[in-house]
Structure 1
Amino acid sequence: MTSLHVENLVCRYGLLTAIKGVSLSLQPGGVLCVIGANGAGKTTLMRALAGAHPAAEGHILLGGVDVTALSTYQRVRAGIAMSPEGRRLFAEMTVRENLIIAAENGRKGEWTLDRVLDAFPQLVPLIDKRAGGLSGGQRQAAAIGRALLANPDVLLLDEVSLGLSPVAVEGVYLSLAAIKAARAMTMVVVEQDLTRALGFADTILCMAEGRVELAGAPTEFTRAQITAAYFGIHEPEVADA
């Protein structure tokens, strides 16, 4: 059974259609990286998967169960958690308090506070510091840890490396690599760094203007094909002589 299945998903902002018939299927433990230029619809897709943006058409299934009509908190309890773009931590609360909120409102499971700190050791000396004083990489680690404490079957990570230094990106991805190796959960990752995405993903989904331009294992495509899909470039059709 697939862990996550999306069928002909359409999302709108008023008269603007941001997601145009997107479909995808992920097996348990798989890693999908969603790539595309700014405005491609990546964040809207993630918000729709998390329940933060309504689907105008289509279906979202988690473990074979249709969750399309569920609210965000209901999806967390069903097994979908997201680390959003911008991290969205409670700035006046400590790192510990930000993490405990997720543990108290998510599902019970193997991800505990101690395990999150093992996965993100950079948070250990910061655990009782206010989240508003953290660096970008530290906030990203805390936001991912918060999502993990909901013990999801599907972990959504939006814009993992956006705004981070190379050192911070490397630290975050080292932790994610260990999570990936365990194959304990499915991950959907939005990543602007194309090289990083191709190296981390089992499957890539390239979007342009709300549509899927290319989908499959990174090894199935040349770098030129991926780059063209990234920017929505199509070869002109050649008329028959």
Structure 2
Amino acid sequence: MTLFAVEDLTCRHGLLTAVQGLSITLNRGEVLCIIGANGAGKTTFMRALAGVHRNTDGRILLDGTDITGLHAFERTRRGIAMSPEGRRLFYDLSVRENLLIASENARPGPWDLPRVLDTFPQLRPIIDLAAGNLSGGQRQAVAIGRALLSNPDVLLLDEVSLGLSPAAVEGVYHSLAALKAEGDIAMIVVEQDLNRALDFADTILCMAEGRTELQGAPDAFSRAQITDAYFGIHDKETAHG
């Protein structure tokens, strides 16, 4: 059975339609990377999946159960966790405290603080430092670790590499690659680095003006097709692989 499915999802900001009829399916252990220019609707889509932004049409299903009407905290309890754009840590609290906040109401499962520190070993030396004193890469690792501590089946990662140095991006993706190799958690990743997205994804979804311009396995498309889709000038007849 498909772990996670989105059917014809539409989202609006007032009179503006930000997401128009998007559909995806995701199996356990699979990685979907979402790409597209600024304003394509990527973050609105992710927020709708997490329950932060209400959709106006369509359905969201987890393990075959319709969760469209559930609030964000209820979706977390069902197994959906998000590391949002901008990290959104409590900067006055330590790394340890930021992480343990998530574990207080977590679902039963294998993720605990020691396992997060094994996955992101760069956090061990700074575990008792205030989050406000961390680098961008360290904050991103804390944000992803916090999401993992809720023991999700579906992990939403919005703008993984945004604002990070190349070394920090490499460190974060090294940990994510290990997580992917375990095959237990499905991931949906919004990524601005096209090369990184193509290397990491099992499936890519390219958005433009809220619509699906291209969707399928990365190797099903040429680089020219992907680039055209990124800017919303893709040939509709070849938009799906």
Distance 2:55 2:78 in 1: 18
Distance 2:106 2:32 in 1: 23
Q: How does 1:137-176 map to 2 (within 5 A)?
A: 137-176=137-176
Distance 2:29 2:208 in 1: 26
Gaps of 5+ in 2: none
How far the C-alpha of 1:22 sits from its partner, in A, is: 0.4
Q: Deviations over 1:123-148 (max 9, x none)?
A: 00111111111100000000000000
User: Which position in structure 2 is the counterpart of 1:6?
Assistant: 6
Q: How does 1:98-117 map to 2 (within 5 A)?
A: 98-117=98-117
How far the C-alpha of 1:234 sits from its partner, in A, is: 3.9
TM-score normalised according to structure 2 size: 0.97
User: Which position in structure 1 is the counterpart of 2:218?
Assistant: 218
Distance 1:236 1:23 in 2: 16
3-state DSSP class of the match of 1:34? Answer: strand
How far the C-alpha of 1:235 sits from its partner, in A, is: 5.2
Q: Deviations over 1:78-119 (max 9, x none)?
A: 000000000000011111011001011221210110000000
Q: Deviations over 1:12-48 (max 9, x none)?
A: 0110100000001111110000000000000001000
Distance 1:34 1:105 in 2: 29
3-state DSSP class of the match of 2:88? Answer: coil
Distance 1:40 1:210 in 2: 5
User: Which position in structure 2 is the counterpart of 1:96?
Assistant: 96
Residue identity matched to 2:207: M
Distance 1:235 1:113 in 2: 47
In the alignment, structure 1 residue 202 sits paired with structure 2 residue 226 = no
Distance 1:144 1:112 in 2: 13
Residue identity matched to 1:22: L
Counting aligned pairs with the same residue, the percent is 70
User: Which position in structure 2 is the counterpart of 1:34?
Assistant: 34
User: Which position in structure 1 is the counterpart of 2:44?
Assistant: 44
User: Which position in structure 2 is the counterpart of 1:62?
Assistant: 62
How far the C-alpha of 1:236 sits from its partner, in A, is: 10
Distance 2:157 2:229 in 1: 22
Gaps of 5+ in 1: none
3-state DSSP class of the match of 2:81? Answer: strand
User: Which position in structure 2 is the counterpart of 1:122?
Assistant: 122
